[in-house]
């Protein structure tokens, strides 16, 4: 019997996203519209051609894939309408228990005691 070589499965290349590290044109190409650039740290990153220089000097998703200095999220300012006085007067704070709260507690206790005695 003679041995015959069977071909192994062929690898299908999956293009990598913008901002991804370790791209190369042979085995890990960037997705269409992006290029693989070597950053100053020696690593390769997928980048938009427009931001290649910014990506080389400071590789990150923001510098490689978005306009340098532009945030990917837009902050929204919320202004709340105010009505009435600008400050609310508050009751004086005291460390003592008020007479009213003592009476509210003692009244039911007194009634129960009177019922027991009588």
Entry pTM:
0.47
pLDDT at 72: 47
pLDDT at 117: 84
Q: What is the pLDDT of residues 17-38, one digit of tens each?
A: 888 889 988 888 999 999 999 9
Alpha-carbon gap, residue 16 to 75, rounded angstroms: 29
What is the enclosing helix (H) or strand (E) of 52?
helix 52-57
Alpha-carbon gap, residue 67 to 92, rounded angstroms: 56
Alpha-carbon gap, residue 107 to 113, rounded angstroms: 10
Residue 17: partners with Cβ closer than 8 Å, 6 or more residues away: 30, 31, 46
């Amino acid at each position: 019997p003679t041995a015959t070589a069977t071909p192994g499965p062929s690898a299908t290349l999956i293009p990598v996203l913008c901002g991804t590290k370790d791209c190369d044109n042979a085995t890990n190409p960037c997705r269409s519209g992006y290029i693989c650039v070597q950053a100053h740290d020696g690593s390769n990153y997928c980048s938009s051609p427009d931001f290649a220089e910014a990506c080389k000097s400071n590789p990150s998703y923001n510098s490689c894939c978005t306009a340098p200095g532009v945030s990917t999220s837009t902050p929204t300012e919320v202004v709340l309408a105010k009505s009435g006085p600008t400050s609310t007067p508050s009751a004086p704070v005291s460390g003592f228990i008020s007479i009213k709260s003592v009476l509210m507690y003692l009244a039911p206790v007194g009634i129960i005691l009177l019922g027991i005695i009588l």
